[in-house]
Amino acid sequence: MFRVTRRYHFASSHRLHSPELSEEENQKIYGKCNNPYGHGHDYVLDVSACGPLDSAAGRVLDTRLMDDLVERLVLHPFDHRNLNTEVQWFMPVVPTSENLGREICRRLKHNWNSTFPDEWPRLEKVRIEETPRNIFEVRADEIE
């Protein structure tokens, strides 16, 4: 069994703010990330799939297919966007990196079989690096 991880980059802005909380609670929880004008990140996204080595092709998956899927479902809708106002899924959801990872994984998982219709490869996990110190991972089998 092999794991293949592809790395992608995109830039987005967001404001961490929950309408369910008071201004004081939002400020206490999110601090400078609650800036009314938002702030941005240059995200590093790793998408990992696993599967057996195809002996004829000598690889686990066609990376071009993965790249096309990530481009269509993640990079195109998220790159250079304000997550709060330009990505409908985040309008009622606080766009934390945890929620961003969950949504990216959900999108990929729900569309994976149309790109990779066989049992293998399987989407394994999504990893987002918001900053060198803030890294978030979610396993595909933990996403509905």
130 is catalytic: yes
Q: What is the CATH number of domain 2-142?
A: 3.30.479.10
Phi/psi of residue 48, nearest 5 degrees: -115, 135
Above pLDDT 90, what percent of the chain?
Answer: 98
The confidence band for 7, taking pLDDT boundaries of 50, 70 and 90, is very high
Above pLDDT 70, what percent of the chain?
Answer: 100
User: Is-contact 132 110, C-beta < 8 A?
Assistant: no
Q: What is the mean pLDDT of residues 62-81?
A: 98
Question: Which entry of 124, 130, 137, 144 is annotated as an active-site residue?
Answer: 130
105 is catalytic: no
SS3 of residue 30 by DSSP = helix
pTM score, whole prediction? 0.95
* Residue tagged 């240059």 (tokens): 42
For residue 52, which amino acid is it? P
Question: Which entry of 20, 33, 105, 124 is annotated as an active-site residue?
Answer: 33
The pLDDT value recorded for residue 144 is 86
How does pLDDT run across 90-137, given as a tens digit for each residue? 999 999 999 999 999 999 999 999 999 999 999 999 999 999 999 999
CA distance 28 to 47: 33
33 is catalytic: yes
